[in-house]
Amino acid sequence: MGDCHYLDGNVKAEKMFRMTQELVNILGIEPVRLRLEWISSAEGGRFAEIAREFTEQVKSLGPSTLKQAA
């Protein structure tokens, strides 16, 4: 961490991710619906694979319990 060429953007992103995890927990949303990955701009194939994998994972969970409660 900290090696992002945009200086400290990845550190700020992780901090925001941790705060979002807390909110997800408070709202009772399954934590697996939130994910943080470190991917270089040179890793287009890896990005696509992770996006496909995560999309399938979330689809398999079905509708969010938060949406059902609303």
Tens of pLDDT, residue by residue, the chain (70 residues): 555 566 788 889 999 999 999 999 999 999 999 999 998 889 999 999 999 999 999 999 998 877 565 5
What is the end-to-end Cα distance of the chain in Å, rounded?
A: 38
pLDDT of residue 26: 92
Q: Are 31 and 21 in contact (CB under 8 A)?
A: yes
9-27 pLDDT tens trace: 888 999 999 999 999 999 9
Structure tokens at 70: 């609303």
Look up the pTM and report it.
Answer: 0.75
Q: What angle do CA 43, 50, 56 make, to 5 degrees?
A: 160
Find the radius of gyration of the CA atoms of the chain: 15
Identify how many contiguous H helices and E strands the chain contains and give both numbers. Answer: 3, 0
